[in-house]
DNA sequence: ATTATTGTATTAAGTACTTAGTACAATAAT
DNA sequence: ATTATTGTACTAAGTACTTAATACAATAAT
């Protein structure tokens, strides 16, 4: 469980992103119980207040729910998770293409760079 | 000249990124004079101190140089600009692929999504 | 020579983020 | 019944970022 947090952005915001990703990718399975706020905070080397902030904000998205004293749980609604995953992927892609465009790279140039990078990665 | 700045990240950092992009894409042409700190600050609706911070940090990258009282200028070194552009593109791409991977999409899946999205865009 | 513009520096204030430390109510575990 | 664990709330402190308001030295423009 890697939590590499950078200092150029609010930590709580990065935590939200990463937890969301862990849910969407199945690392945090549907219906399963999350580690406690204190545990997660220690894992991520972060103050419990900060983790608490991230988790409570994440609940607004509906991917989590809280049982007051037994802990937090991932939603069992697989369809909701699937939708969140799809939404995350599309956001990333369009954001990425937008940046490439602003750099002045047309589509073929972008594709060519990607493919060469993937070729490099195979070696 | 659009400067849409978000509040979830330090402004100076976003300014650096966007100015770098404007240089790499040719919006700020090689050898040309930049608007003054005060002008740029007003354009971006930002405090002059913040713009100054971004610009002075940008100079460390070598894309800008300062003539103490006549203003700031874009480097004439086209090769350096080209390299910066390439570096920016590669950073964006690997960052993007990393996120896709964390979402559970491997590189070939990601590549296929992109190509189909680019095909869609042509229509 | 005078004026305007340039980058730069400084101080003060406000805000957001993070941490440390503590505490409380509810309930699961014993 | 008692204890431990849960989420939650609160205060105080430190740091980083941003803005406002000036000010200064160098030099381009007049």
Question: What percent of chain A stands above pLDDT 70?
Answer: 98
User: Which of 49-88 (A) contact B at CB < 8 A?
Assistant: 85, 88
Q: What is the pLDDT of residues B48-94, one digit of tens each?
A: 999 999 999 999 999 999 998 999 999 999 999 999 999 999 899 88
Q: Per CA to C1' distance, which residue is closest to C25?
A: A69
Q: What is the pLDDT of residue A68?
A: 87
Question: How many secondary structure helices (H) and strands (E) does chain A include?
Answer: 5, 2
Residue B2: which pLDDT band, with cuts at 50, 70 and 90?
confident
SS3 content of chain B, % helix, strand, coil (to 5): 60, 5, 35
Q: What is the pLDDT of residues A20-61, one digit of tens each?
A: 999 999 999 999 999 999 999 999 999 999 999 999 999 998
Are B103 and A85 contacting, i.e. CB atoms less than 8 angstroms apart? Answer: yes
Query: Do A89 and B100 lie within an 8 Å CB cutoff?
Result: yes
Residue B123: which pLDDT band, with cuts at 50, 70 and 90?
low
Q: What is the pLDDT of residue A123?
A: 63
């Amino acid at each position: 469980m890697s939590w590499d947090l950078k200092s150029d952005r609010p930590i709580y915001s990065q935590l939200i992103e990463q937890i969301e990703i862990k849910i969407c990718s199945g690392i945090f399975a549907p219906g399963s119980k999350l580690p406690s706020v204190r545990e997660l905070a220690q894992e991520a080397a972060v103050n419990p207040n900060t983790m608490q902030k991230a988790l409570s904000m994440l609940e607004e998205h509906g991917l989590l729910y809280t049982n007051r004293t037994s802990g937090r749980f991932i939603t069992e609604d697989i369809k909701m998770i699937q939708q969140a995953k799809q939404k995350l992927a599309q956001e990333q892609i369009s954001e990425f293409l937008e940046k490439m465009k602003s750099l002045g790279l047309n589509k073929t140039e972008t594709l060519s760079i990607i493919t060469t990078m993937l070729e490099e990665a195979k070696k």
